[in-house]
A and B are shown apart, each in its own frame.
Chain A
């Protein structure tokens, strides 16, 4: 057990998880003095009928001020300011965010603007710009992956100036997270697989990276075990509500873990593949996970070895010799990707060259790897990774992940 000489841990999000928990929303809002919530969601979520499920569950107990489903796949500054103006016009007093990462980010951005009674989010950039509680915000995640329902950041893109702004404050934490399996029951398996692996990566990186602490560790270990035990159940029976609930709960656990200990190079490289080639985040995570473990093996092999227990269970852990556990853990994540590949009829990519868009065109040409490596050097998560990463290191890992070959651990530069 590693106990740092100093650490902070904060999770003040009330979590309401279980079957039929959407119906609790009016009561929760009422307790916070809110009567006229705005629902923020996106087109995909509303077309899947999820917004309707939420509305049906609450409308006889509370009036809904407005339903906004205009959130783009990538949160946008103008959209935030626009939704904030509608919020004010319709005299809303709280927000229910129904969706994945970008909906949550947008809702957090809107909440800053309306709570501070401003009209432009840009007034609140920079550390310490937020000084008081915001309006009530309830998060209803629909993906079981991002963990945004328990994180204190909001990433908003300013597309006009081609940059991403990061807002970080404990005030951005939602007041409550509702984990209701009805929200993920219809999520197709080829999306459920990578999003669950995103959550898995949050937990694993939280456990092996530099900012780990005993409180985040506890959340991470439980999350890994729950995902490992339930991911194939969902693949085999997508309508298994209990397994969906387990994945949703695990994503929240993993979110609590990584927002209190941060993530490392798997996210560093994954963010960059995502921003250069527009690959969905979870897909990048699944592919890069084994490589992030291999690259850091010489620094944190003991921590990786410990992960074999929640990942593979007591029996495998006990029958694997101590010095082989870390490598076995890497192999286990590769095997998981293989099983997910088979369960999704080959849609779940196992390496970067296998990723295709809807028209079956490859999304990550090998010629883009240098650009991805350069982009990675500007990602803040690089500092939380146990081993240093320079341009050549990023390129080496990306090349192996592109080919789908194991990382040659003897080539990893050591200090």
Chain B
């Protein structure tokens, strides 16, 4: 559906690029955290092998896809949702909703709960993914922003806060 003139097409494109980069980085960071963080590892272990999910904006993206292969290795699988078989789709109702989320104009739990998140798939699996995303956000964001993004800022060990954080960010940037 087309919007009224207030939103200039140029801004929409910028939003798209901003969100694509964010999603790409979050995807990479999930892959990294699955190697570095025990809790994330545990959550992924509980998901079935081959489990693949997407996160993005309804209906035209951008998206990111993360999957766990047959050997249980978690991988960022790109931004295309039509070329992979998805077990679960999580989408914000519109690109604007996704933008609000990634710019922390609203806390994630509130946004999640305000009729903006579509989940297509098993609810227990969606719960695991949200917990994984919460942990990843603590790794990626400074505390004062992360506090907006999650309900309860966790009390982690010093190693988890420093070394693991460094590793998740390095691995996400370097992509290994």
Chain A residues within CB distance 8 Å of chain B: 4-8, 126-128, 163, 166, 209-211, 262, 377-380, 382-384, 386-388, 413-415
Contacts and interface: CB of A to CB of B under 8 A. Distances in A.
A383 B130 contact: yes
A410 B97 CA distance: 36
B123 A379 contact: yes
B108 to A, nearest CB: 10
Given A210-B113, A383-B112, 9 more contacts: A4-B114, A7-B115, A126-B120, A210-B110, A210-B114, A211-B113, A211-B115, A380-B123, A388-B150
Contacts of B116: 6
Contacts of A386: 151
Nearest to B96: A6
A380 B126 contact: yes
21 contacts: A4-B110, A4-B114, A8-B115, A126-B120, A127-B89, A127-B119, A128-B118, A210-B110, A210-B113, A211-B114, A378-B123, A379-B123, A380-B119, A380-B123, A382-B127, A383-B109, A388-B151, A388-B152, A415-B147, A415-B150, A415-B153
Contact of B109 (A8, A210, A413): A210
Contacts of A415: 147, 150-153
A162 B32 CA distance: 33
A388 B153 CA distance: 10
Contacts of B123: 166, 378-380
B16 to A, nearest CB: 21
Given A377-B127, A380-B123, A380-B126, A262 B113 contact: yes
Nearest to A264: B113
Name the 10 nearest CB pairs between A and B, nearest first: A378-B124, A415-B152, A388-B151, A388-B152, A210-B113, A211-B113, A415-B153, A380-B123, A127-B120, A384-B113
Interface residues of B, number: 26
B38 interface: no
A380 B109 CA distance: 12
B151 A387 contact: yes
Chain B, interface SS category: helix
Contact of A383 (B113, B115, B120, B155): B113
B45 interface: no
A7 B150 CA distance: 20
B102 to A, nearest CB: 16
Contacts of B152: 387-388, 413-415
Interface in B19-39: none
A5 B111 CA distance: 10
Nearest to A164: B123
B150 to A, nearest CB: 7
A127 B118 contact: yes
A266 to B, nearest CB: 15
A384 B120 CA distance: 18
Contacts of A8: 115
Contacts of B155: 413
Interface string B89-131: 1000000000000000010011011111011101110111011
Contacts of A379: 123-124, 127
A228 B115 CA distance: 30
A5 B109 CA distance: 14
